[in-house]
Amino acid sequence: MLIKRPSDIKSSEITDEAIYLRRREFMQATAGLALMPLFGAAVAKTSALAELKFKKNSKLSSSETLTDYNSITTYNNFYEFGTDKSSPAKHAHRLTTSPWSIVVDGHAKKTGKFDLEDILKPHSLEERIYRLRCVERWSMVVPWVGFSLADLIKRFQPTSKAKYVAFETLHRPEEMTGQKRSVLEWPYVEGLRMDEAMNPLTILAVGLYGKTMPNQNGAPIRLVVPWKYGFKSIKSIARISFVEKEPPTSWNISIPSEYGFYSNVNPEVDHPRWSQKKERRIGEFLRRDTLMFNGYAEQVAHLYKGMDLKKYY
C-alpha cells in the first residue's frame, strides 16, 4: 500500500512541527551551504550557540512577524568587522567573547572591573520582541533575550552627578579587523541620558531567537534601545560609565550634522541626505511608513516633552 493510514506512520518518521514550520528557512540555509564554496554566499559562521533560559515579556513585545534568523544574522552594521552588511557574519567569529569583562566607572558607589558572569548573575532573562529601525531606512523585528538596563544600573548605585550613561565597545583590532581602518574613531562609543537608560524598554541583550548572541549581532552583551536608530544600540560592550556631561557618540563625532546625540526614530526629521518617512521591512517588497519613536511613542514620548526634536535630532 502506497498511502499509509495515520496509524501506520511511526512517530519517529513524523517531522517535528517546529522544524516543519521552519522548512523554508531550512531549505534556504541548505541551498546557501551548497553554494557557499562557489560564491562565498553570506552564511553566518557561528559556533554552536547555547539555548538560553528566559521568560517571554509579552507586555513589552511586538506581535509583528519576526524577521527570519538568517537575515538578522547576515545583514548587519558592525563596522568593527567591515563596512559591508555581509562582513560581520563572515569575520565576527574571530572575536573572543569568553572570558569577557566590563569596566564600570564614573559617578557610582560601586565601580570596578567585573567578569561578565558576575554582571549577569542576579538578572533573570526575558524575551523582548522589538522593532529595529536602521538610519539607512530598513527595519527588522528581532526577538531579543536580555534584561532591563535599569535593573543593572541600580546595582551600581549611581550618584546624583550621574546624568548620563556612556558605553564603549571593545577595541581589539587584531580580532576586530575592521578597526584596522579608521572608518570611525575606535573604540565605538555611545550614550544615553539617565532617564532614557532607566526606561523599561531599554535592555541589555545577551541573545536572540532564544539562543546566545551571535558575534555579528554584538556578543556577548549589547544595548537595545528600540525607539532610536540602530546605531545607538552599541554592541559588544566593554565599559559602562556614569557621567555628568553628555558623552561623545561615534556617529556624531564622525558626521555631527547628520547624527545627533538623541537619534530618535522620527519620520518628520529627515536625514540631511535622505528622507526618513518610510522604511523597508526586511523580507517585504513595499516600503512601510516609519512610526514616531519607531512606534514606541506611548512609552517614551514624555522623555522629550518640550524639546525641539528638529534641533535635538
Partner 1 sequence: MLLYYSLISPLSQKNLQSWVKPAVFLLCLFPVAWLIWQLLNNMLGANPIESFTRQSGEWGLRFLLITLAMTPLRRISGQAWPLRYRRMLGLFSFFYVSVHLLSYIVLDQFFDWSEIWADILKRPFITIGMTAFILLIPLAVTSNKAMMKRLGRSWQRLHRLVYIIAVCGVLHYFWLIKADLLWPTIYAAILTILFILRVKLKP
CB of residue 183 vs partner 1: minimum separation in angstroms? 5
CB of residue 277 vs partner 1: minimum separation in angstroms? 8
Query: Measured from the CB atom, is 14 or 31 closer to partner 1?
Result: 31
Q: How many CB atoms lie within 10 A of CB 180?
A: 10
Distance of CA 94 to the CA centre of its chain: 19
Query: Measured from the CB atom, is 106 or 187 closer to partner 1?
Result: 187
C-alpha cell at 192: 544615553
Distance of CA 211 to the CA centre of its chain: 14
CB of residue 56 vs partner 1: minimum separation in angstroms? 25
Query: Measured from the CB atom, is 42 or 149 closer to partner 1?
Result: 42
CB of residue 166 vs partner 1: minimum separation in angstroms? 21
Which strand (E) or helix (H) includes residue 251?
helix 250-254
Q: Rounded CA gap, 31 and 182, in Å? A: 36
Give contact residues for partner 1 (rule: CB under 8 A): 28, 31, 35, 39, 41-42, 67, 70-71, 74-75, 79, 83, 85-86, 136, 138, 181, 183-184, 251, 254-255, 270, 273-275, 277-278, 280, 282-283, 285-287
CB of residue 174 vs partner 1: minimum separation in angstroms? 20
Q: Contact 151/123 with Cβ under 8 angstroms? A: yes
CB of residue 101 vs partner 1: minimum separation in angstroms? 29
Cα-based distances in Å from 112 to 89, 107, 205, 222, 241: 32, 12, 21, 19, 10
Query: Measured from the CB atom, is 69 or 164 closer to partner 1?
Result: 69
Query: Measured from the CB atom, is 70 or 299 closer to partner 1?
Result: 70
Question: Is 255 buried (19+), middle (13-18) or exposed (0-12) by CB count in 10 A?
Answer: exposed
Residue whose C-alpha is closest to residue 299's, from 229, 150, 199, 230: 199
Query: Measured from the CB atom, is 79 or 144 closer to partner 1?
Result: 79
Quick one: DSSP state of residue 34?
H
Query: Measured from the CB atom, is 3 or 286 closer to partner 1?
Result: 286
CB of residue 249 vs partner 1: minimum separation in angstroms? 14
Q: Rounded CA gap, 204 and 105, in Å? A: 17
